């Protein structure tokens, strides 16, 4: 699997960009000092950029390519630089205006996606959350992060966004670890309602819901929750950040992991039995 640390993935992207800049300079046959003169900055800045110690701006990249007479390469480098910036976004920045806006931020992505693959190892995915469960989860997040209390509005926004699961023309392949059925968010009544809602969701024609039994012998370990959008983009959410992955080789790894996890899951009557067993354990 890709590195679990968002910062390590960003650093790897930065280093790949820096290596490409070094190649462009060497192909042009100029030194770092000559590059600096042509760009109008210090030689130290050239070294910092080329050694991935300083992230270049878009203008820096354009100046670098112009100095090396490789201006045709600038657009691709700028795109790679911006992707590295967007791969790791601190939750503090995303959530600074509260949780309601965060629910709305991804709405365009959800609306244009036709095929969703969702793996959850810690909570019920947002698509399938009941208002009670979503309230308990979002309130816990807001309290932990010291965010503005807009939980009620955020829950409404999440429910509005989740209505997409009942719209035609989309498919949702969802995998849950059995432990998700046991983790209590809210009281027993909230959990019973949420688990009952999962049973109902299994009847939706757009939804394929698999449960990975805790007792299954595994060849693929439990990993952080993630969502794949049209097999082109992966979002996953460690504690401190939101990570977006679009590099094809990394997306392929997540698709492979989803396929392996799918092989461990049970469906239909077997999945229902696990959910019912979790409901019974609430009493």
Determine the average pLDDT of the residues in 52-75. 93
Q: Which of 27-31, 142-146, 247-251 has the least mean pLDDT? A: 247-251
By DSSP bridging, strand 171-177 and strand 207-212 are parallel
pLDDT at residue 140 in the model: 93
pLDDT higher than 50, residue 182: yes
DSSP for 269-281, written as a single string: HHHHHHHHHHHHT
Query: Are 17 and 52 a contacting pair, CB within 8 Å?
Result: yes
Determine the average pLDDT of the residues in 166-194. 96
pLDDT at residue 54 in the model: 87
pLDDT higher than 50, residue 1: no
Could you tell me the pLDDT band of residue 169, with boundaries at 50, 70 and 90?
A: very high
Rounded to the nearest integer, the mean pLDDT of the chain is 90
> Each residue of 41-61: pLDDT tens digit?
999 999 999 998 888 999 999
pLDDT higher than 60, residue 30: yes
By DSSP bridging, strand 88-90 and strand 115-120 are unpaired
Contacts of 66 (CB under 8 A, 6+ apart): 38, 74
Could you tell me the pLDDT band of residue 67, with boundaries at 50, 70 and 90?
A: very high
Q: What percent of the chain has pLDDT over 90?
A: 70
Gap between the Cα atoms of 96 and 6, Å rounded? 20
Query: Are 55 and 17 a contacting pair, CB within 8 Å?
Result: no
pLDDT at residue 114 in the model: 97
Tokens of 205: 């024609």
Q: Could you tell me the strand order of the sheet in which 207-212 lies?
A: 88-90, 241-245, 233-236, 226-229, 115-120, 171-177, 207-212
For residue 228, the cross-strand partners are 117, 234
> Each residue of 249-283: pLDDT tens digit?
888 999 999 999 999 999 999 999 999 999 999 98
Gap between the Cα atoms of 279 and 64, Å rounded? 62
pLDDT at residue 149 in the model: 85
C-alpha R_g of the chain: 23
């Amino acid at each position: 699997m890709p590195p679990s640390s968002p910062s390590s993935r960003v650093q790897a992207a930065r280093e790949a960009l820096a290596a490409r800049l070094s190649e462009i300079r060497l192909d042009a046959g100029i030194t770092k000092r000559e590059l600096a003169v042509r760009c109008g900055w210090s030689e130290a800045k050239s070294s910092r950029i080329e050694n991935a110690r300083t992230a270049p701006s878009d203008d820096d990249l354009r100046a670098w390519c112009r100095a090396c007479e490789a201006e045709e390469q600038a657009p691709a480098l700028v795109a790679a630089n911006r992707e590295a910036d967007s791969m790791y976004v601190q939750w503090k920045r995303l959530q600074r205006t509260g949780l309601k806006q965060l629910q709305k931020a991804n709405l365009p992505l959800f609306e244009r996606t036709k095929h969703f693959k969702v793996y959850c190892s810690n909570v019920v995915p947002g698509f399938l959350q009941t208002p009670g469960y979503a309230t308990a989860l979002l309130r816990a997040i807001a309290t932990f992060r010291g965010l503005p209390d807009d939980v009620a509005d955020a829950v409404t926004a999440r429910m509005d966004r989740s209505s997409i699961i009942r719209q035609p023309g989309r498919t949702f392949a969802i995998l849950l670890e059995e432990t998700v059925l046991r983790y209590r968010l809210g009281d027993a009544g909230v959990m019973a309602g949420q688990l009952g809602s999962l049973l109902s969701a299994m009847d939706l024609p757009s939804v394929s819901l698999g449960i990975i039994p805790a007792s299954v012998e595994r060849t693929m370990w439990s990993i952080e929750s993630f969502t794949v959008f049209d097999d082109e983009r992966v979002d996953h959410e460690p504690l401190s950040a939101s990570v977006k992955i679009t590099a094809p080789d990394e997306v392929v790894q997540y698709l492979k992991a989803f396929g392996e996890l799918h092989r461990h899951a049970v469906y239909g009557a077997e999945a229902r039995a696990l959910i019912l067993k979790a409901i019974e354990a609430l009493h």
